[in-house]
Amino acid sequence: MAQAPVAGSQVPAASSIRFPKGFLLGTSTAAYQVEGAYQADGKGESKWDFLANKVGATQFVIGKKETGNVADNMYDRTQYLKDIALMKEMGVNAYRFSIAWSRIIPQGTGAVNAKGLAHYDQLITDLKAAGIEPVVTLYHFDMPQPLMEKGGWNNPESVQWYAAYAEVIFKHYGQKVKKFITFNEPYIEHFLADYMMNVEQSKAPANVRYAAAMPKAHNMLLANAKATAVYHRLKLPGMVGITLNLSPCMPFDANNPADVRATPLQDELLNTLFLDAIYKGRYPKRALDSLQKYNPAFRPAPADMALLAAQKPDFLGINFYAPAQVKADPTAPMGCTWIGNNTDPAPASGNGPNRPDQLYALLMRLKTEYGNPTTMITENGAAYGDVDEAVVNGKINDTHRCQYLLGHLGALQQALADGAKTIGYMHWSLLDNFEWVFGYSVKFGLIGVDRTTLARTPKQSYYLYQSILKQQPKLP
Ligand code: BGC
């Protein structure tokens, strides 16, 4: 087997990067992070409208209130047509965006909003006219707030609420959209974001609070299975998948026995919990035992596990940013941490170390342990902070992001050569946007956005990606 590229030492030349004909190469965004227009055309309130405006979710982290009320103004057609023109100039053949449930069904259940449906109809038409294939996520962290008030994903009815919403989407867009993604990153929403933001205002100890995520993740996986069944029942001419954040786990310090011991459990909680549920219809024992210890009420019914086992996605969306470098920490939930651990020298990317070899390793693991499923890289990107983002003479020289991009495309090319069945790569993100609790302070875009004027400035990484996209084999 060919050697995997190793970070820093084997960044390929841009001119050597080639993907098969028909391979999707694009960028990725999500509704709340870019659309703005948070009350336009009959839109209902979503979880993030509520968190940003009424709870002040960014306040705790960046010390000021920021919201997605305007974001990148991409709901506006005049604006998004300019962004599509930039995408076209860059040379992408795909674009992953998400539909806001609260635009389609403002109360979460019940009446469908024709204006919401029409907005995405137009966007899809405009993308296709530019030769860009839409890759559509149905849910990216933004449950309608009226459903949050009924218990959100804790409420077993959430499975049906979501399945009904998914049916509306599949029936309406199913002939013109060929790639659907049911959910984005159940782990991050439930085990990380909700836990960290203490959304439920619980005073419970950390382990109990963390374990409370499991029923929500379970309901989301059931909703995924139900929606997948709906999609297949409708016999639509495309594919449906789910996107997981996957991060191979390694000890932060390989010479520290405590870090080494903590790593397998972290791997189960982060990766195997979801992969096994989706591909094997079961939860890994060590993770399940640990969660049940602090949440004994969580006992998945055999019928639930049968449903999970029966519905396989047509492809697995993978958000890969970095491996998880695991530290033992008795004060952390389950005795381990990974977020914020990064052994890279400064400047280091906020989402973890730049290790393209671990993307390769992940795809090889899926091949050997999960029957080599069809995959799509639905997010991959980096934010290095000010050092990469300064505008000098109208240019943004994001050299670290360029290295990151090159390394990961090289690793992906290698994985394909070694048998991975990956059908696309969507870079996160098309443009700087609302980075959740970090507001606009953390930037992932290939295109910079001036926060006052919303003017777009393509960065060096945009031009690098453009040069790579231009040399790809074209379909006749
Ligand atoms: C999410 C994106 C987010 C990105 C960068 C992923 O967890 O899907 O919404 O902006 O990571 O942190």
Residue 197 pLDDT level (bands cut at 50, 70, 90): confident
Which helix or strand (DSSP H or E) is residue 24 part of? strand 24-28
Q: What is the pLDDT of residue 1?
A: 44
Nearest-CA residue for ligand 1 atom 3 is 435
Is 1 within a domain? no
Q: Which residue range is the domain that position 462 belongs to?
A: 14-470
Beta strand 447-449 with 374-379: parallel, antiparallel or unpaired?
unpaired
More confident of the two residues 259 and 475 = 259
Cα–Cα dist 204/468, whole Å: 50
Measured CA to CA, the distance from residue 277 to residue 232 in angstroms comes to 19
CA of 428 to the centre of ligand 1 (A): 8
Structural domain count, the chain: 1
Atom 10 in ligand 1: which residue has the minimum CA distance?
435
- What CATH number did the domain enclosing 275 receive? 3.20.20.80
Q: Is residue 377 part of a domain?
A: yes
- Residue 202's pLDDT is 67
Tell whether omega for the bond before 347 is within 30 degrees of 0, i.e. cis.
yes
Q: For ligand 1, say whether the CB of 185 is within 6 Å of any of its atoms.
A: yes
What is the predicted pLDDT for the residue at 200? 61
Average of per-residue pLDDT across 161-165: 99
6 domain-assigned: no
Strand blocks (E) in 273-384: 315-319, 324-328, 336-337, 374-379
Give domain status of residue 200, yes or no: yes
C-alpha 59/C-alpha 184 separation (Å) is: 24
Strand spans (E) along 329-450:
336-337, 374-379, 391-392, 395-396, 421-428, 447-449
Measured CA to CA, the distance from residue 135 to residue 436 in angstroms comes to 22
Give the residue-averaged pLDDT of 426-431.
98
User: Domain for residue 2, yes or no?
Assistant: no
Residue 167 has pLDDT above 70, yes or no: yes
268: in domain: yes
> Average model confidence (pLDDT) for the chain?
95
Q: What are the pLDDT digits (tens) for 346-392?
A: 999 999 999 999 999 999 999 999 999 999 999 999 999 999 999 99
The answer to whether residue 8 is domain-embedded is no
CA 188 to ligand 1 center in whole angstroms: 9
pLDDT over 80 at 196, yes or no = no
pLDDT band at 204 (very low <50, low <70, confident <90, very high): confident
Over range 383-411, report the average pLDDT: 96
Q: 392 or 243: which carries more pLDDT confidence?
A: 243
pLDDT at position 308 over 70: yes
5 belongs to a structural domain: no
Nearest to 216 by CA among 287, 158, 281: 158
Question: What does the pLDDT look like over 266-294, one tens digit per residue?
Answer: 999 999 999 999 999 999 999 999 999 99
For a pLDDT cut of 70, what percent of the chain falls above it? 97
Report the alpha-carbon distance of residue 112 to residue 164 in Å, rounded: 11
